[in-house]
Structure formats: C-alpha cells, structure tokens
Amino acid sequence: MKQIWIVDDDEEMARAITLMLKLLDCQTRHFLNARFASKELLTGKKPDLLILDINMPEVTGIMMLEFVRHRPEWKHLPIIMLSSEATDVQIDEALRLGADAYITKPVSLDELEAAMQNAITKHGGKM
C-alpha cells in the first residue's frame, strides 16, 4: 500500500484528495503546511509520493519542491503539484524545478490516478 503525503493548507481539499486516495488503496498523511512536512522528511520518514499545493502561506509548494529536489536522498521522490491556478508560467516553473506532474483543482479521480501513475513510474516505481 502506497503512503502518500498531502501538503495543503485547505483542509477540505485535503479531505477530498484523501478520500480519492483511499479508493486507490493508498494510505495518506496530511500536513497543513510545508514546514511540518519538511521537518518530518528531515527525521528520515519518506512517503512513496508527495502532493504539494502551490499556494500556501509562509512556505509555498514551489519552495518545498526546491527544498526536496536539492537533497540527494529525495531525488527520486515522486512529486505532484496541485493548484487552483494553471498558468503556463507556473506549470513550466514547477516542471523545470523537478515536479513530475501538475494537476489543477478541482481534481478528478482519473486525473489524480494518472498523475500518480506517471510520477511513480518516472522514478522506476509501480502503482
């Protein structure tokens, strides 16, 4: 069973994604901000996939993406960016910085599953 971490300050959205991930037979953990998730990563715990909301106060999803990708031990951690915005500039920046997929809110189950499949296989894993 895959362990997925959701980093999103919107509790309602995180609950919706958690329910979808349960349908995909995944365990989840929700963090209200990137700081808490980063601290947990630094303790040595690591999910099978990370879903990062872009627009969060203090530490944005983009900032956490950069933090994760600059650490060799997390180089192959699949990361999906999540946002209510989908400008070409924002999508290009996220992908350039190492995101494996970019999905927009509201998210459908099929879209989430496809993004997860692509992100995990990109790093040599299997769903």
Over its length of 127 residues, how does the chain's per-residue pLDDT go in tens digits? 899 999 999 999 999 999 999 999 999 999 999 999 999 999 999 999 999 999 999 999 999 999 999 999 999 999 999 998 888 899 999 999 999 999 999 999 999 999 999 999 999 888 7
Query: Can you name the residues that pair with 28 across neighbouring β-strands?
Result: 4
pLDDT for residue 124: 87
Pairing state of beta strands 2-7 and 79-83?
unpaired
| Residue 106 backbone phi and psi in degrees, to 5 | -70, 150
Count: domains in the chain: 1
Alpha-carbon gap, residue 38 to 21, rounded angstroms: 21
Domain annotation covers residue 127: no
Domain annotation covers residue 47: yes
| Residue 69 backbone phi and psi in degrees, to 5 | -70, -15
Q: Which domain holds residue 78?
A: 2-122
Domain annotation covers residue 52: yes
CA dihedral of 41, 17, 120, 23, whole degrees rounded to 10: 120
Domain annotation covers residue 38: yes
CATH number, domain containing residue 87: 3.40.50.2300
Domain annotation covers residue 18: yes
Indicate the residue type of 110: D
CB-side neighbour CA atoms (13 Å) of 21 = 23
CB of 14 closer than 8 Å to CB of 30: yes
Domain annotation covers residue 31: yes
